[in-house]
Amino acid sequence: MSLSVASARPLRLSTAEADFETRFAQRLHWSAETDAAIEQRVADILADVKARGDAAVLAYTQRFDGLSAASLTELELTQAELKAAFDGLPPAQRDALQQAADRIRRYHEAQKKASGESWTYRDEDGTLLGQKVTPLDRVGIYVPGGKAAYPSSVLMNAIPAHVAGVGEIVMVVPTPRGEKNPLVLAAAYVAGVSRAFTIGGAQAVAALAYGTQTVPKVDKITGPGNAYVASAKRRVFGQVGIDMIAGPSEILVLADGSTPPDWVAMDLFSQAEHDELAQSILLCPEAAYLDEVQAAIDRLLPTMPRAEIIAKSLNGRGALILTRSMEEACDISNRIAPEHLEVSSREPHRWEPLLKHAGAIFLGAYTSESLGDYCAGPNHVLPTSGTARFSSPLGVYDFQKRSSLIEVSPAGARRLGQIASVLAHGEGLQAHARAAEMRGDA
Amino acid sequence: MSLSVASARPLRLSTAEADFETRFAQRLHWSAETDAAIEQRVADILADVKARGDAAVLAYTQRFDGLSAASLTELELTQAELKAAFDGLPPAQRDALQQAADRIRRYHEAQKKASGESWTYRDEDGTLLGQKVTPLDRVGIYVPGGKAAYPSSVLMNAIPAHVAGVGEIVMVVPTPRGEKNPLVLAAAYVAGVSRAFTIGGAQAVAALAYGTQTVPKVDKITGPGNAYVASAKRRVFGQVGIDMIAGPSEILVLADGSTPPDWVAMDLFSQAEHDELAQSILLCPEAAYLDEVQAAIDRLLPTMPRAEIIAKSLNGRGALILTRSMEEACDISNRIAPEHLEVSSREPHRWEPLLKHAGAIFLGAYTSESLGDYCAGPNHVLPTSGTARFSSPLGVYDFQKRSSLIEVSPAGARRLGQIASVLAHGEGLQAHARAAEMRGDA
């Protein structure tokens, strides 16, 4: 079969076929390749920035971004510049950015209230137990430059940090040859970024992790980036916290056939247009509906400015899968643990309880993933590549940490001292035992 | 100055001295060395277990643990064996283990209630937003064997997983030459471990991460281990979740001079007895009190079975520091972000609000760290080496993950569609814009 560039034929599969498991596993397969040359260059850049600070960051910024400056201070964006970028936007963009930020803030405030507050309780003997939840002091947010410069990512990273109460939010964004993206700067203003530097790559990650004369050392670094940035984040992990390292973006649509096929086709496109490695999968128990979606793909694809990327993604990694039932579709979804999961059904609340693993669940035909990407409120930084089995969307909790609180009463010390003494002796740790006994005997 | 082995002289410092910062920084310095030989051996073991499964695990278990078996099934401990270990304990140990487990369970249930429940809210236009919190399906718990076999660690890892609702908890514990620790097996019984294998090292981590014919693949691996285990956990991260990689244990005591000096000396010992790299630091604004604690150290050390390790730890890494005030002691504590922080003061609640970063905070003279290690209730798996700046104690939240929930109403789709359309066009993602517009136009 030969395909023209702008024709998209996602793989057709059926769970009833004998070779389904094999073909499906092949389609899902993706593995992060680590490139030894990149690894070595990143290690060198990190060591150099650690040793020489500002001077090294300036040298790499000149070399990789074609941007010269006499000092790193020149590469800091002032709050006035950020505000000017916002004020200078067309009113529709300014309003959209502000409304998106307001909704994202509201959602993350609810998240903080539901799961991010300190708590304590007292035992019957007066012993106090609990956890104190506190914000990180200072975080770094990496924002890619160039073609992948997404102002929405600035909102999604900075607003949860702000809601958490982080003292200082430091943004880095490369501006190759000095070209600044006004929407990114405006988003930084709306989201409450404290300081911003026009630096990027491994050198920016190093500056945030170790601190330089000009760039303050942070406690955690979040935000997406290319292979150099991902490698640098892995390497500084432990020295600072990091968020997840993202793989290609994915959408899984569970459809019962009730949603207009054009809508589903466009949702598959909206994932595919990100990147030719992005993955769009549709699961449905109605064969005729899969045909209708394919027809919608054929009809709509030529109208898309990014048709070529969409076609490559759908042809290389997409799939339209006929299932025996919606229940089976839910089972398959749980095996994939997709980043984005649309339940495009008349009865989304019937299926939602069956769905165990997903970054974000979009319920009902009106809930297109793109609304979630920009402005519904929840975070668009989500676990990819099946990591939703064990990890969560970026949230306020990523910008907080917890400290256990314990205050043992004199009565509690007698009771607990006996238990601890027995167990400590059992582990051969006599100082632990004595420390516990001393309090109990007092 | 020459010291006999069983004499312990923690470094005496004063914040008023001109060279304090330098000497203090030297004392704090610790860095995780990565050993290239270990890294290569671990990479080889992981690849071998991934390729050969059970056969590879059996071969390494024979080689490293001197334990032969015809099949991996022989190395599985039955529930009956775990129960028999519990039933066979002396009654005092059995009761202590059960009481500790009950208290740890109660604390983690409170933690789940405070921060680990699903939540939703509805917008004015009927749009539903929230987060669904669900347990991980299956987790692996690594328990060290030999001299560092701590039954308390079994409780501290397995109980939060159990409270979170994890479906299956798989424990691995090496038993060199087949020697089993009855307290460890009993703890697995009390904590609700589902399956247990007497395997360890990098091969056990690989078996859990990739799955073998006999060992089920898990979603996350927690628990402490030696350099091989730590390296293996780092390498499988991404494939599965992992908890933190722990550095040497630390205690920081803030004292106002009101606690019996023997108690504080014993608390410093109880950290130091773990490991000669463990760090025990006392901060106090009263010089005379530091002298009293040193005298207590001198008097009590000869009575300790682990005197030699304690002396090495205190001489190499310990410090008694005179501060100008309790406020300054709190500032220094925030810079260190200690794993264990004792506020050994008559007014612990005066100082607690000033303490921003710590794994666990022990308030008041009666609250010895050893009570927290065993049975107060909070987790004893805590962030080390300053990582309390950005990370938290092990908890129920480590065995849960979150999925965002979004259900946009038709009215919401119109409103949100406009915002998303503007922002998507601004990012050059036209399929995103169209998917949003289609719903708004419906």
CA–CA distances in Å: residue B4 to residues A282, A379, B299, B302: 73, 60, 14, 11
Active-site annotation holds for A340: yes
Q: Which of B304, B356, B366 sits opposite A430 (nearest CB)?
A: B304
What's residue A280's pLDDT?
97
Instruction: Tell whether the model's pLDDT for residue A345 goes beyond 90.
Output: yes
The answer, for B258 touching chain A at a CB cutoff of 8 Å, is no
The answer, for A372 touching chain B at a CB cutoff of 8 Å, is yes
The answer, for A86 touching chain B at a CB cutoff of 8 Å, is no
> 185-214 in A: which are within 8 Å (CB) of B?
none
The answer, for A17 touching chain B at a CB cutoff of 8 Å, is no
Instruction: Tell whether the model's pLDDT for residue A284 goes beyond 50.
Output: yes
User: Which residues of A are less than 8 Å from B390 in CB distance?
Assistant: 136, 219-220, 240-241, 401
CA–CA distances in Å: residue A186 to residues A79, A150, A195, A421: 10, 11, 13, 60
Q: Which of B241, B366, B410 sits opposite A390 (nearest CB)?
A: B241
User: Which residues of B are less than 8 Å from A97 in CB distance?
Assistant: 423
DSSP A192: T
Instruction: Tell whether the model's pLDDT for residue A351 goes beyond 60.
Output: yes
What's residue A36's pLDDT?
85
Instruction: Tell whether the model's pLDDT for residue A422 goes beyond 90.
Output: yes
Encode pLDDT of B327-384 as tens digits.
999 999 999 999 999 999 999 999 999 999 999 999 999 999 999 999 999 999 999 9
Name the average pLDDT for chain B: 95
**Pair type for strands A128-135 and A119-122:** antiparallel
Contact A378 B404 (CB under 8 A): yes
Encode pLDDT of A66-78 as tens digits.
999 999 999 999 9
How many CB atoms are closer than 10 A to CB B325?
A: 11
The 3-state DSSP composition of chain B as helix, strand, coil percent (nearest 5) reads 50, 15, 35
What's residue A442's pLDDT?
75
What's residue A383's pLDDT?
95
According to the annotation, is A111 in a ligand binding site? no
Optimal mutation site among A103, A121, A124, A131, interface B, most CBs of chain B within 10 A: A131
The answer, for B411 touching chain A at a CB cutoff of 8 Å, is no
Catalytic residue among B108, B250, B273, B339: B339
Q: What is the mean pLDDT of residues A152-179?
A: 97
Domain ranges of chain B: 11-32+247-376, 36-117+135-242, 408-441
> 321-340 in A: which are within 8 Å (CB) of B?
none
| Chain A nearest C-alpha distance from B12 (Å) | 22
C-alpha span between B318 and B28 (Å, rounded): 9
* Amino acid residing at A6: A
Instruction: Tell whether the model's pLDDT for residue A339 goes beyond 80.
Output: yes
For residue A174, name the pLDDT band (cuts at 50, 70, 90).
very high
Q: What is the ipTM of this complex?
A: 0.95
Active-site annotation holds for A179: no
User: Which residues of B are less than 8 Å from A352 in CB distance?
Assistant: 132, 405
Burial class (CB in 10 A: 0-12, 13-18, 19+), A190: buried
According to the annotation, is A349 in a ligand binding site? no
| Chain B nearest C-alpha distance from A349 (Å) | 10
Classify B11-32+247-376 by CATH class.
alpha beta
End-to-end CA distance of chain A: 85
Q: Which of A110, A116, A304 sits opposite B115 (nearest CB)?
A: A116
Helix runs in A122-256, H state only: 151-164, 182-191, 201-210, 227-236
Coil vs helix vs strand at A87:
helix
Contact B132 A417 (CB under 8 A): no
How many CB atoms are closer than 10 A to CB B237?
A: 17
**1.10.3720.10, 3.40.50.1820, 3.40.50.1980, 3.40.50.720: CATH of B36-117+135-242:** 3.40.50.1980
Dihedral pair phi/psi, residue A14, rounded to 5° = -135, 135
Q: Which residues of A42-79 are buried (b: 16+ CB within 10 A; e: fewer)?
A: beebbebbbeebbebbbebbeebbebebeebeebbbee
Q: What is the mean pLDDT of residues A107-122?
A: 96
Instruction: Tell whether the model's pLDDT for residue B2 goes beyond 70.
Output: no
Residues tagged in the binding site annotation of B for Zn(2+) = 271, 274, 373, 432
Q: What is the mean pLDDT of residues B405-431?
A: 95
For residue A147, name the pLDDT band (cuts at 50, 70, 90).
low
The answer, for A261 touching chain B at a CB cutoff of 8 Å, is no
Instruction: Tell whether the model's pLDDT for residue A2 goes beyond 70.
Output: no
Catalytic residue among A340, A369, A380, A437: A340
B170: Cβ contacts below 8 Å, ≥ 6 apart: B138, B139, B140, B141, B193, B194, B195, B196, B197, B208, B215, B216, B218
Instruction: Tell whether the model's pLDDT for residue A6 goes beyond 80.
Output: no
